[in-house]
C-alpha cells in the first residue's frame, strides 16, 4: 500500500496536491499507521512523528484546522490551529489541509495557479455551504476555479435518514437525484459526490474532478463508519516554492 495518493487533477504549473493513506506511519492499531488526527486518542508522539514526516517529504507546512462541520474558512496559517472547516492561501509552501475519515475533502485552485484552498465537508457542512464559502475565498470568477473531490464515503455505503434528504432538497430540489431509497424503510443512500457537484455547479463551477472513491470499502483510507475508533488521513494542496 502506497503512503500517498497523488490526485489526477489538471492543475496549473506550480500547484501540488496529495492525499495521505493509512500506510507509512508509526501509529499502532487501531490507528495504524499514518494517522494524522490529534483528536482521536492516538499517542500524541506518534501523531507528531507522522505529521513531521509529511512536512519533510513534501517540504511543505500544513495548516491544520480544528474542524467543526461548519462553514468558516480562514487564511491557512501553520503557526496556529483555527476552528474552521476550510482554508485558503496565496503563499507558496503552505498547504491547505483537510482531515477526514468518510467526510468529503475538496481541494481548490484558480486557473492562474496563484491561490489554493481546501474544505472539509461532512453532510452538515456541505448542506450549510462550506464548498461555496471556500470557493469564494479564491476571489475569481467561478469559471476560473478547478476542484478535486477526494476520498469520501461512497454512495453504496452512505445511508441517511429522511431528515438529511429533506435538508438538501429544501434548499436545492435537484438534489433529490443524489438520494436512492435504501432497503431499510424510510432511509436513503446518499451520493455525497453528486451533492457536491450540484452545489458547485449552482455557483457556476463545472471544472470538477475526482470522486469515485469509497472510504468505507477502500482499505487505503481510514473510515469512521467502518470502525468508529480510527485515525484520520489528510488531503492537501499548495503552491510550490520557487528557487
Whether residue 25 contacts residue 34, with contact meaning beta carbons closer than 8 Å, is answered with: yes
Give the pLDDT band (50/70/90) at residue 242: confident
User: In whole angstroms, what is the distance from residue 202 CA to residue 197 CA?
Assistant: 9
Radius of gyration of the chain, Cα coordinates, nearest whole angstrom: 17
Structural domain of residue 61, as residue ranges?
Answer: 4-239
Which residues, including other chains, have CB under 8 Å from residue 126's CB and lie 6 or more apart? 104, 192, 195, 196, 199
User: In whole angstroms, what is the distance from residue 125 CA to residue 103 CA?
Assistant: 10
Q: How many domains does the chain have?
A: 1
Which residues, including other chains, have CB under 8 Å from residue 140's CB and lie 6 or more apart? 110, 111, 112, 115
User: Is residue 243 over pLDDT 70?
Assistant: no
CATH of the domain at 61: 3.60.140.10
Helix extents (H) in 91-240: 123-128, 130-136, 162-171, 192-203
Which residues, including other chains, have CB under 8 Å from residue 212's CB and lie 6 or more apart? 193
Three-state SS across 215-231? CCCCCCCCCCCCCCCCC
How far from chain centre, in Å, is Cα 208?
14
User: What is the DSSP-derived secondary structure letter of residue 124?
Assistant: H
User: Is residue 1 over pLDDT 80?
Assistant: no
User: What is the DSSP-derived secondary structure letter of residue 176?
Assistant: G
- Which is nearest to 193 in space by CA: 224, 232, 153, 238? 153
Whether residue 58 contacts residue 41, with contact meaning beta carbons closer than 8 Å, is answered with: no
Mean pLDDT of 31-37: 97
Mean pLDDT of 15-35: 97
User: In whole angstroms, what is the distance from residue 128 CA to residue 151 CA?
Assistant: 20
Whether residue 86 contacts residue 74, with contact meaning beta carbons closer than 8 Å, is answered with: yes
User: In whole angstroms, what is the distance from residue 168 CA to residue 164 CA?
Assistant: 7
pLDDT at 2: 85
Task: Give the tens place of pLDDT for each residue, 139-185.
Answer: 999 999 999 999 999 999 999 999 999 999 999 999 999 999 999 99
User: Is residue 96 over pLDDT 70?
Assistant: yes
Amino acid at each position: 500500500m502506497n503512503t500517498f495518493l497523488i490526485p489526477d487533477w489538471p492543475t496549473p504549473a506550480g500547484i501540488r496536491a496529495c492525499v495521505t493513506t493509512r500506510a507509512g506511519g508509526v501509529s499502532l492499531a487501531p490507528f495504524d499507521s499514518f494517522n494524522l488526527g490529534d483528536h482521536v486518542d492516538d499517542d500524541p508522539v506518534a501523531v507528531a512523528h507522522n505529521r513531521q514526516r509529511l512536512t519533510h517529504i513534501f517540504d511543505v507546512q500544513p495548516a491544520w484546522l480544528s474542524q467543526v462541520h461548519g462553514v468558516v474558512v480562514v487564511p491557512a496559517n501553520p503557526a496556529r490551529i483555527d476552528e474552521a472547516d476550510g482554508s485558503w492561501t496565496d503563499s507558496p509552501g503552505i498547504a491547505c489541509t483537510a482531515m477526514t475519515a468518510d467526510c468529503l475533502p475538496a481541494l481548490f485552485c484558480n486557473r492562474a495557479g496563484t491561490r489554493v484552498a481546501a474544505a472539509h465537508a461532512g453532510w452538515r457542512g456541505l448542506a450549510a455551504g462550506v464548498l461555496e464559502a471556500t470557493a469564494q475565498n479564491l476571489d475569481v470568477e467561478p469559471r476560473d476555479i478547478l476542484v478535486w473531490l477526494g476520498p469520501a464515503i461512497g454512495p453504496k455505503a452512505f445511508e441517511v435518514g429522511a431528515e438529511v434528504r429533506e435538508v438538501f432538497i429544501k434548499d436545492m430540489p435537484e438534489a433529490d437525484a443524489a438520494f436512492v431509497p435504501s432497503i431499510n424503510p424510510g432511509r436513503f443512500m446518499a451520493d455525497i459526490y453528486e451533492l457536491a457537484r450540484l452545489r458547485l455547479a449552482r455557483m457556476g463551477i463545472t471544472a470538477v474532478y475526482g470522486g469515485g472513491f469509497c472510504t468505507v470499502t477502500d482499505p487505503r483510507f481510514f473510515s469512521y463508519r467502518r470502525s468508529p475508533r480510527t485515525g484520520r488521513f489528510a488531503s492537501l494542496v499548495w503552491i510550490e516554492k520557487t528557487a
